[in-house]
Amino acid sequence: MSVRHAFVLVIATAACAGCDSGGGELPPGATSEDLRTFHVDVTKRGKPIRAFGGLDGNPLPGKADAATETDLTALYQSHGVRQVRLSRGSGCDVALDAVFPAPNLAAGEPGAPDYATLDEVLKNALASGMPPIWGAMYDVGKGACSRRGDLEEGSGIADPDVWATAVVQTLQHMRSSGLVAPIVEFYPDPFGAGGYSKGQAFQHVNAWARLREALRAAFPAASGSPGFQIAAPGIPIEAAGAFTDADHAFATFGNHLATTPADAPDALSFASVAWMPEDHLAIAEEARLAAVRWGLAALPLADGGARPPEALWTELAGLLTTPARRSAFLAAHLAAARVLLQDRVESFAAARWAGPPDAGGTPEDLFVRPDRTSLPALESMIAFYLMESAAAVRVPAALADGKASDGKGVAALAAVGKDGTLFLLAALADPGRIGAWVRVRFDVTGLPANAASAKVLRVTVDESTEAFAWQEDSRAPVTGGELTIERTAWVPAVMLLQVTPIEAVNAPAAPR
């Protein structure tokens, strides 16, 4: 076990069988570390909740899997997916080699396009209220993209000019057909699944420069917005320090932007691959500082394909022994990341295939079971969707040090809906307490002065969750606009409390 991630692994025993998700006292032997107290001030209204409901994977059955797979569109919709990232998990169906299967490279032409499948996928996503993120990825020519289990991998770009022409033609087709993907990712994960070697950073930058030049010619600024944004470079980042590493491919890309500002993308994109939820935040903060250094301070950030690293799954393999438990851990990990990234990124898409790899090297799908039903990671997305649907705005939820996280993977978020409903969310992703429990306390101030009590609904998403459903309907006293709620949940878990203040009925007049 590494020193950097030497977790204290705690296994729950039968002695804590009574420590369920309800109220009650701390059990004998508990310490202050088992309790996290978040202070919530309802009067300090902030910005709207961002559900960050992006998820990898085309919900339609792939062409190669049509006989065995089912349409997941309704499952995605009902579970809070609001942005479909087609850059991963689309079975090569919408990659450029499928759209341009027969290029004439000798003549420098991408060949005759076949948009049928791409159009079907885009139309389904747009009609279902899940605007697609399309990945301009892999080279043109049949076979440039190949399947690897549920995922894909491709070869690098042979002729950047032909490739750029193919991308531009595809975007022009999208616009003319009314099927525009709002976000287009420039060749995501180029040095992983994208086929570029680590020594080809300059070739990667050159492909981007050729594409940017072709885009400027095809969509001149004077003609108005093209209807889409180009996000680049889409490189996975496993440590915040990568942004200051001169040898890292991200720095090579950024240095090009610093010297050629006309080549700046519409959004600076990366995939945060992080041990802890707090590390996702550190990566985003360093990305912002890097953008400032490159003269791109106003550029929005996009995090696509966020996930834990394979090494974390290896380290926790003895504790996360089932797909449901691994999914619950991912649910809590990503929920805490969504909490911490609220003001840091404009777009966030989780990696659906984010678990440990199988014997063939394909990461485990921790959102959808093989029988096409949901896992806890998908169920947990509903919590953020409920808050966003309620037009909720954030209010402070902070520990004594003013932070929304304890630095160990336990984070909280509070928000108030348009109708006054208070939402309290706790993400319990502490790797050092897997199988144990953590008690979360919310000390709330600023509720309506005439409230005598509050209706409390609670749902806890953990490894046993098969469907998102309220598990508690109770009442809590409110005194002078103040309320305290304590609940316990097993780690890993995501807990959502929905609190509705109730006015006093025939309350006596206040003493003079």
Q: Name residues whose C-beta falls within 8 Å of residue 66's C-beta, 6 or more positions apart in sequence.
A: none
Splitting the chain (512 residues) into consecutive groups of 10 residues, what average pLDDT does each group show? Answer: 35 32 45 84 97 97 81 97 96 95 93 97 98 97 92 94 98 98 97 94 97 97 92 96 92 96 97 98 97 96 98 97 98 98 97 95 95 97 98 98 97 97 98 93 96 97 97 97 96 98 59 38
Give a three-class secondary structure readout of 46-112.
CCECCCCCEEECCCCCCCCCCCCCCCCHHHHHHCCCCEEECCCCCCCCCCHHHHCCCCEHHHCECCC
Q: Give the rounded distance of the alpha carbon of 82 from its chain centre.
A: 11
Distance CA 76, CA 73 (A): 5
How much is the pLDDT for 65? Answer: 77
pLDDT of res. 34: 86
Q: Is 385:51 a contact under the CB 8 Å cutoff?
A: yes
Q: Report DSSP state, residue 124.
A: H
Say what the pLDDT of residue 24 is. Answer: 42
How many angstroms separate the CA atoms of 157 and 167, rounded? 12
358: its two tokens? 């199988």
Paired strand residues for 424: 414, 497
β-pair type (145-148, 422-428)? unpaired
pLDDT at 23: 39
Number of neighbouring beta carbons within 10 Å of residue 341: 23
Helix (H) or strand (E) holding 206: helix 201-218
Domain 64-388 is in which class?
alpha beta
Q: How far apart are the first and last CA of the chain?
A: 66
Q: Which two tokens stand for residue 176?
A: 């003319």
Q: Running DSSP on this structure, what letter comes out for residue 140?
A: S
Q: Where are the domains of the chain?
A: 14-47+393-503, 64-388
At the topology level, CATH places domain 14-47+393-503 in: Immunoglobulin-like (2.60.40)
Phi-psi region of 319 (alpha: psi -120 to 50; beta: other; left: phi over 0): alpha
The pLDDT score that the predictor gives to residue 339 is: 98
CA-to-CA dists, residue 15 to 445, 486, 488, angstroms: 35, 20, 15
What's the CA gap between 298 and 230, in Å, rounded? 15
Give the integer Cα–Cα distance in Å for 189 and 246: 19
Decide if 14-47+393-503 and 64-388 have a common fold.
no
